[in-house]
Amino acid sequence: MSAIDEVAPAIQLPGFGHIVAARRDRSTAPRASAALVSRQQWERRYRTQLRVSDTALVMLLCIATSVIPLLAAVPQPSGVQAWEALRAPLCAIVLWLVSLSLFNTRVTAVMGVGPTEYTRVAHATGLAFGMLAILAVVLDWGGLGGFLLITLPLGLFLLLLSRWTNRRWLTRQRLRGSYSSRTVVVGTRDDVEYAIRTISPEGRLGYRVVGVTVLDDDADSITVDGITYPATHGTDAVARTAHALRADTIVVTNQPNDDPSYVKRLAWEIEGTASELVLCSRIADVAGPRMTLSPVEGLPLIHVRIPMFEGSAYVYKRALDIITSSLALLVFAPLAALIALLIKLDDPGPVFFHQSRVGRDGREFKMVKFRSMRVDAESELQALLAANEGAGLLFKMKDDPRVTRVGRVLRRFSLDEVPQFWNVLRGDMSVVGPRPPLPSEVTAYDGNVYRRLYIKPGITGPWQVGGRSDLSWEESVRLDLRYVENWSVLSDLVLMWRTALVMLRPEGAY
């Protein structure tokens, strides 16, 4: 403590009292607000929930896969033999749990959204078992092969399933208004509205928008998708708004052109009030996972990797397609026979429907589906165009009179698309990709829509899990283009899983 701090209470210098008070205000570290404490509490509870489920699962699996063979052995192993069998599982438990922590699999940034959490869990598991294998070689531990062959794949699957289950629980909590961040969005009106639509008004992504600060408008509120949000305006209103609305997160969509230090100053102003400052930009819709940040001193650099449409990643994608389509054709073979019989009984005509579609690089191919309409459906199309309910270039009707009774059930659960796995096996399509367009649609494309044809079309894709026929044409194109540039094998696996869930609870399918 300096001399002026010690004597200040006793000496009242004329004209200098406000200076001493101001200095004390500036030199006192901000204290956490009630909103900030509340956020820290739910984050801590959820991390504890993940830690407990991870620990229980890892311990149970490692011990079970080693103890069960010991109990089943005849004759019973001695104490020394039992210890030799258990030392590897015990080491696996420690290495696995430490790796899950080192890879930050429970941080707030990956909670409840995106594939990053699953990727980190997979990497942590691989590292743990890799270190265990090295340790076994160095220390000459025998009999570890069976343990690795069983525990590694089974453990990874169960751990990912556990994380998915916890994520589903978290999503339900967020839909009820808890376990989410009370958020204020800052920026120009257009960017604020775009950000609100993107981060979801339901709070599914963890952001529950409670207010906005508009930099180019003086309206008292703004309405987005039927929901009205209170609005303040001006660059100096954010901290007051966050405090008044008990917000713990500030999302900044852009900053004033004449104030390059605005974000730094804003971060200082909300210390003690908010937990994080989120900078969002529409470049993420273009770059997505191709975007990385280099923290160069004084000037963070955003790197955007230009997409490539060939190379080893596409070899892996093709291998995944061959494996998945082969398994799907084998699994669905008995069901396919039953579907074929029902189609024949319901409406005389061929079982399969072949239609020209446009694939990669504009090449046409014959896509095969189970027939879900009457044989003369194509000739009736012109008479129904006036009743089109589809978006953009697509023709869709919720109650299309051409669809047969069996066809309506097949479409609802996407079973009419099962034969397309044959197209995947042939190489015309991929399991995951953009929607396969008709030649007539392609001739009507304009602008950048042609980029959908840079990769193979898919049986499923972001349009399949994002609303299907309920999507607008613009939204369908945006989802497809984002997938074309940003896909990965892991994202394909996630989309396959989400597609299976959508088939069980179909929405927008007709």
CA distance readout (Å), 494 to 95, 134, 170, 432, 498: 27, 31, 18, 10, 6
pLDDT mean over 290-319: 81
Instruction: Give the least confident one: 82-86, 114-118, 218-222.
Output: 82-86
Mean pLDDT of the chain: 81
The span from the CA of 54 to the CA of 34, in Å, is: 30
For residue 3, the model assigns a pLDDT of 35
pTM exceeding 0.75: no
Q: Above 50 in pLDDT, residue 269?
A: yes
The span from the CA of 440 to the CA of 351, in Å, is: 25
Does residue 186 contact residue 250 with C-beta atoms inside 8 Å? Answer: yes
| pLDDT-above-70 percentage for the chain | 81
Query: For the segment 397-424, what is each residue's pLDDT rounded down to a tens digit?
Result: 666 777 888 888 888 888 888 999 999 9
Q: Where are the domains of the chain?
A: 1-29, 34-175, 181-280, 312-504
Query: For the segment 57-110, what is each residue's pLDDT rounded down to a tens digit?
Result: 999 998 888 776 555 554 555 555 555 657 778 888 999 999 999 999 999 888
Per-residue DSSP letters for 381-406?
Answer: HHHHGGG---STT----TT-TTB-HH
Instruction: Give the least confident one: 258-272, 361-375, 381-395, 451-465.
Output: 381-395
| pLDDT-above-90 percentage for the chain | 25
Per-residue DSSP letters for 279-323?
Answer: E--THHHHHGGGEEEE--TTS-EEEEPPP-SSSHHHHHHHHHHHH
181-280 CATH pick, 3.50.50.60, 3.40.50.720, 3.40.50.150, 3.40.50.1370: 3.40.50.720
pLDDT mean over 225-236: 87
For residue 262, the model assigns a pLDDT of 83
The span from the CA of 109 to the CA of 130, in Å, is: 27
For residue 74, the model assigns a pLDDT of 45
- As a whole number of Å, the end-to-end CA separation of the chain is 74
For residue 144, the model assigns a pLDDT of 73
pLDDT mean over 504-509: 58
For residue 380, the model assigns a pLDDT of 62
Q: Which one-letter DSSP state was computed for residue 31?
A: P
pLDDT mean over 340-364: 89
Q: Above 50 in pLDDT, residue 16?
A: no
Query: For the segment 149-180, what is each residue's pLDDT rounded down to a tens digit?
Result: 888 889 999 999 999 999 999 988 988 888 88
Per-residue DSSP letters for 199-210?
Answer: H-TT-TTSEEEE
| Amino acid at the residue 468 | R
